[in-house]
Structure 1
Amino acid sequence: MTELSQVIHAVRSTTGAWIREDYTFVRITGPDAASWLHSQTTNDVEGLASGAGSHNAILDRQGRLQGHFTLHRWEDEFWMLIECAQVDAVLKHLDDHLFIEDVHVERTDDTLEQLILQGPKSMAFLATCMDDESGMGSALLPNEWNGVHPVELFGLEVLAFRISMTGEDGFVFIGETGECAAILQNLRDHSDDTLEAPVVVDSEAQHVLRIEAGLPKFGLDMDTTCLIPETTLERTAISYEKGCYLGQEVVARLKAYGSVKQALTGLVFQNETVEKWSVGCALTLDGKTIGRGMSMAHSPTLGRMIALAYLDRDHRAPGTVLSILVEGYDTAIEVEVQSPPFHSPPSREQTADSLYHEALDLFQADPDDSDASAIPMLKESILLQPDFEDTYEVLGVILNRHQRVDEAIYYMNRLKELNPNCIMAHTNLSVFYLAKGMIEEAEIAKAQSAVLQIQNATDERKAEEMAAQERTRIQEEARDRIGVFLEVLGMDPDDPVATFGLGKAYVQLGEYENAIPHLSHAAEVQKDFSAAYLDLGKCYEFLDRPDEAQETYQTGITIASRKGDLMPMREMERRLKSLAREEVSNT
């Protein structure tokens, strides 16, 4: 394994860190800051709560991208994290649209420093640095993407932003000049029995990680000539619910009436290396230019060459295999189209669930309570998903059985704070208090548990009755719609809306066999009916016909990609991957 591969592997499996020098921090204040930024940018600003943030962008009147950044709110201030290469043009654009509003824009440039920490073990490693008997400093780290909160790290007050630069979980820390370099050194020197110190990630590895994550770079993979729907920024930087902003009409029209001619996607090379690849190189098929190549790298994670590329609507469906000519080459190269990212790590919630079940298996296989290895797994699960109630319960029980009763009480009280109506929190506390000889506390917890059991029994009956009423309402409405749709189809058997509606109604009734012919006909009548393919595939799934479901999703993804229907396309991609995983696990 090369040194580069080792660094990539470390970031993908543990943690990596570096000082980021190509971004700057801009502070925006004033009583009109929220409304002014909201009117100038593509994403919701006024709806941001203190401590929240979002990916954002600015456009010109033609909907062309002028710059993108993350924007974060802390109390009455807004903080912009933006590439240095973009900041002059973006701030000039904003200043050109600042008239009578009371807004102040302050650049920080060299006065602040930024530290990047990335990897699936970022949160767990930071907890070993920030948590001790005096408190849990890691609890202040933001949980939501683009969230921000001040924290103390190695005695230094810094701002922590939850941002991914690699596709992995991670943070951006901002401090005064020199502070982040000191923190990086402390992170490298910090020792823990279970976690390795972060590797330092150089610029070459940063480039590979960025491309594996499918993150386009402004000025390289996209520029001011690009319509924002042509880039991947549409997924994260646009709100279709907010009011007017410059370029909104173009963006809304493209979403409503059709897809862009070209769009940024990914290419995975099938065993070929392209030495003369250059950004902007023409890609041709059968003598016709179908796109342009952009950033490229060898992916140690995939073991293949990968690239970002703009492809036309007829050739960008995920899974399509193309035999293309690259500008400067005489022989065709085989590539497979893949919607970025190329590497999709599990979410925090998925990792927390995996750790929980692995720890549960260890606990169940340890009747003598001789193995404590489940404890750090459960603690990490809680770090990643602080509202995962089952983890607290199991952790408390295991800690108690290992005679660590004070810790068990601590985690049960955290569970009680999380959910005051959790019966098992009070039940376990009564047991743990009794083990400590705290008789009065044990009796109170036991009484609270008994009251909650009676109350929950009543609430469950009410919930079941309400759920039954809702199911009945939905089914009655579906039956009523069936009658209406049948009347319409009696006059026009090929009406796509009525045909799809009839199939959808049968799906709501759970009559999947009856739904299939109508959804199939809707897809035949209206060839680009993405939603029909999605529901048809679901019917095959519910009927345990995975091969037909996969074939339907593959066709639907191709059609949705051409039309630009991102939501049904993403859902079909997710379901197709899930079916593929089930197929592998069953072999």
Structure 2
Amino acid sequence: MNEFELFIEGRKGTLSDWDLCVVSGKDREAFFQGQTTNDILSMPVNTFNLNSRVDRTGKIQFFFINIKTENELLLLFPSDVSDSAIAEFNKFIIMDEVELSKDERKVFYTISKDTQRAEFISGLLYGLPSSLSFSDKNSDLKELSSDEKLELKIKSGWPTWNVDVHAGDLINNTRLNDLAVSYTKGCFLGQETVAKVHNGRGASFYPSLLESKDVEKLNLGPFKINDRKGGEVITKSAHVAMVKLFREFRIENKSFDVNQDERSISFTFKNYSVGQSIESFSHELYLYAVSSFQNEKVEIAIAALEAVIELTPAFSDAYESLGVIYGRQEKFELGIELMDKLLATDETSVMAHTNKSLYLMRLGKIEEAEEEKGLATVKSFAQFGKVAKEKKIKEEQEKEKENQINQRESMFKQVLEIDKDDTIANFGMADVYFYRKEYEKAKEHLKRVVSVDDKYSTAYTLLGKTLEILGEIEEAKKVYVKGIEVASAKGELMPANEMQARLVKL
């Protein structure tokens, strides 16, 4: 069972290895806003998220779960660190009206599509939309097994204390960097160091996901790639593993020979998503629904789309897709109901009226069908007007861009008259010619760039694209291979991943 099916079916459990702490006092939110890495002030009421505490050098002291309700701020600490964490915070409470106290209440969780209602404390747990409560409200659901929990934690990169996150780890080298750090909320203890690493080359070693039937052949511990330290297997289940991977090898869809214990196995690693949210999960669930429908798994598709609508009521595509499925099943009344909900979400939808007209016709309601057809026509004309307006705006924007391109071209030409090998000016001219679709001229300047500076990674990216358009596919492949090598060695993962994606496509 994959994570989407498990979410739809639902699971429950108890956070038995976590300790609850209640924070009281009028300054509680302001105090923790400056003492921890995530944003508490902007949290909606009745939600939870991950947070952490680092020292002045950006090294982790502990992490925890924030729970924010109407009247309380609650903290859930891994049991191993709860006493020391409370003591650490107490050292910094001087003038603030804040008090921390242990609470003996048990905390229950539910992983289910039905947990986003106002009475629940909602958030992401193990990468899935969930709710927390102080009583077992879902006795009919199955308990989340230890194997299911491990697989979910690995697939989402959810941290586990003293497994993939330890005291003294630089937070940039852990999944907490993506899941528990806000770089926009303002200052916190250690923020200067953490931001400096984040805005520089990033983590040297960072968690990546490995999904393969050969995971069982790996042992926990270090491994080599290309006869050098490649990374470390941190935790694994039957077919997935979390590995700390060196910067140079964190390239999507690129295979590497992993050497461990005198064995060599080819693996492709996957980068974890930068940030997780209920909205991003809902989008992935929608894509899973579409894929399930295409593979004739209709009931799974319906359940997934219903879950999407429950999670994100403004997701208009989900209403339309589910309504179309009901139409194909000749459940026209249900289809019409979904189209009405779509119109409540997006009153400009032409397809909602079109589908309603079709379903009403099949039900023999001719007059109502004609009325919906008329509304579809009216909204189609409105869409045409909108498209025409957007086209005019786009033409004005392109005209402005052409003026900017001309100015840049003049500047680059002046530089090249002085120094024909200037890499910035040559790359700039190549970019101008690429925009104008003068690809041979673009190629000429890009070849000069990489001949003068063979470490200019973005030049390889643009040169590869240019060669693709010119039909020089084999040469484009060679350029991408070289460019990936250059970019990954410099820690420039964005161009490296882009070139790898294009190379795979070729």
Residues 540 and 234 of structure 1: CA distance in aligned 2, closer, same or farther (over 3 Å): farther
Contact 1:220 1:294 in 2 (8 A): no
Q: Residue 93 of structure 2 corresponds to which residue in structure 1?
A: 98
SS for the counterpart of 1:452 is helix
The 5-angstrom pairing of residues 432-471 of structure 1 reads: 448-471=375-398
- For residues 285 and 74 of structure 2, what CA distance do their matches in structure 1 show? 30
Q: Residue 269 of structure 2 corresponds to which residue in structure 1?
A: 338
Partner of residue 176 from structure 1, selected from 118, 122, 134: 134
- 1:249 offset after TM fit, Å? 1.8
- For residues 416 and 16 of structure 2, what CA distance do their matches in structure 1 show? 63
Contact 2:212 2:239 in 1 (8 A): no
Q: Residue 276 of structure 2 corresponds to which residue in structure 1?
A: none
Residues 296 and 554 of structure 1: CA distance in aligned 2, closer, same or farther (over 3 Å): farther
Give 1:460's aligned amino acid: V
Give 1:308's aligned amino acid: V
The reply to whether residue 161 of structure 1 matches residue 92 of structure 2 is no
The 5-angstrom pairing of residues 212-223 of structure 1 reads: 213-223=156-166
Q: Deviations over 1:509-559 (max 9, x none)?
A: 444544344445545555554444444444455556665555555544444
The reply to whether residue 299 of structure 1 matches residue 238 of structure 2 is yes
- 1:418 offset after TM fit, Å? 0.9
Residues 253 and 103 of structure 1: CA distance in aligned 2, closer, same or farther (over 3 Å): same
SS for the counterpart of 1:112 is coil
The 5-angstrom pairing of residues 66-105 of structure 1 reads: 66-71=61-66, 73-74=68-69, 78=73, 80-103=75-98, 105=100
SS for the counterpart of 2:107 is strand
- 1:561 offset after TM fit, Å? 4.0
Give 1:464's aligned amino acid: K
- 1:31 offset after TM fit, Å? 4.9
Q: TM-score, normalised by structure 1?
A: 0.67
The reply to whether residue 485 of structure 1 matches residue 412 of structure 2 is yes
Give 1:498's aligned amino acid: A
Q: Deviations over 1:330-366 (max 9, x none)?
A: x465565735559xxx96435524644765897xxxx
- 1:463 offset after TM fit, Å? 1.2
Q: Residue 146 of structure 2 corresponds to which residue in structure 1?
A: 203
Q: Residue 188 of structure 2 corresponds to which residue in structure 1?
A: 245
Q: Deviations over 1:163-213 (max 9, x none)?
A: 335xxxx33332224x15xx2x5124xxxxxxxxxxx55435543553455
The reply to whether residue 233 of structure 1 matches residue 187 of structure 2 is no
- For residues 467 and 71 of structure 2, what CA distance do their matches in structure 1 show? 51
The 5-angstrom pairing of residues 377-526 of structure 1 reads: 377-378=301-302, 380-381=304-305, 383-384=307-308, 387=314, 389=316, 392-393=319-320, 395-396=322-323, 399=326, 404-429=331-356, 448-519=375-446, 521-522=448-449, 525-526=452-453
- 1:477 offset after TM fit, Å? 1.5
- For residues 168 and 46 of structure 2, what CA distance do their matches in structure 1 show? 33
Q: Residue 36 of structure 1 corresponds to which residue in structure 2?
A: 31
More displaced stretch, 43-52 vs 53-62: 43-52
- 1:465 offset after TM fit, Å? 1.1
SS for the counterpart of 1:221 is coil
- For residues 315 and 357 of structure 1, what CA distance do their matches in structure 2 show? 30
Q: Residue 243 of structure 2 corresponds to which residue in structure 1?
A: 308
Residues 76 and 93 of structure 1: CA distance in aligned 2, closer, same or farther (over 3 Å): same
- 1:413 offset after TM fit, Å? 1.2
The reply to whether residue 112 of structure 1 matches residue 106 of structure 2 is yes
Residues 309 and 485 of structure 1: CA distance in aligned 2, closer, same or farther (over 3 Å): same
Residues 547 and 47 of structure 1: CA distance in aligned 2, closer, same or farther (over 3 Å): farther
Percent of matched pairs sharing the same residue:
24
- 1:416 offset after TM fit, Å? 0.8
Contact 1:55 1:71 in 2 (8 A): yes
Give 2:125's aligned amino acid: I
Q: Residue 352 of structure 1 corresponds to which residue in structure 2?
A: 286
More displaced stretch, 46-55 vs 459-468: 46-55
Residues 473 and 203 of structure 1: CA distance in aligned 2, closer, same or farther (over 3 Å): same
- For residues 295 and 225 of structure 1, what CA distance do their matches in structure 2 show? 16
Give 2:126's aligned amino acid: S
Q: Deviations over 1:544-579 (max 9, x none)?
A: 666555555554444444444454455555x35xx6
Q: Deviations over 1:261-306 (max 9, x none)?
A: 554556799969779x565x697986x8x377452435336xxxx5
Q: TM-score, normalised by structure 2?
A: 0.76
Residues 355 and 291 of structure 1: CA distance in aligned 2, closer, same or farther (over 3 Å): closer
- For residues 432 and 314 of structure 1, what CA distance do their matches in structure 2 show? 55
- 1:13 offset after TM fit, Å? 5.4
Q: Deviations over 1:471-502 (max 9, x none)?
A: 23223322321221232233334444333333
The 5-angstrom pairing of residues 281-292 of structure 1 reads: 290=229
Contact 1:161 1:172 in 2 (8 A): yes
5+ residue gaps, structure 2:
274-279
Contact 2:59 2:169 in 1 (8 A): yes
Give 2:109's aligned amino acid: L
Q: Residue 56 of structure 1 corresponds to which residue in structure 2?
A: 51
Residues 513 and 358 of structure 1: CA distance in aligned 2, closer, same or farther (over 3 Å): farther
- For residues 75 and 506 of structure 1, what CA distance do their matches in structure 2 show? 58
SS for the counterpart of 2:335 is helix
Contact 1:375 1:398 in 2 (8 A): no
- For residues 432 and 285 of structure 1, what CA distance do their matches in structure 2 show? 61
SS for the counterpart of 1:421 is coil
Give 1:221's aligned amino acid: D
SS for the counterpart of 2:352 is helix
The reply to whether residue 187 of structure 1 matches residue 114 of structure 2 is no
- For residues 358 and 270 of structure 1, what CA distance do their matches in structure 2 show? 22
- For residues 162 and 395 of structure 1, what CA distance do their matches in structure 2 show? 25
Contact 1:353 1:381 in 2 (8 A): no
Contact 2:214 2:239 in 1 (8 A): no
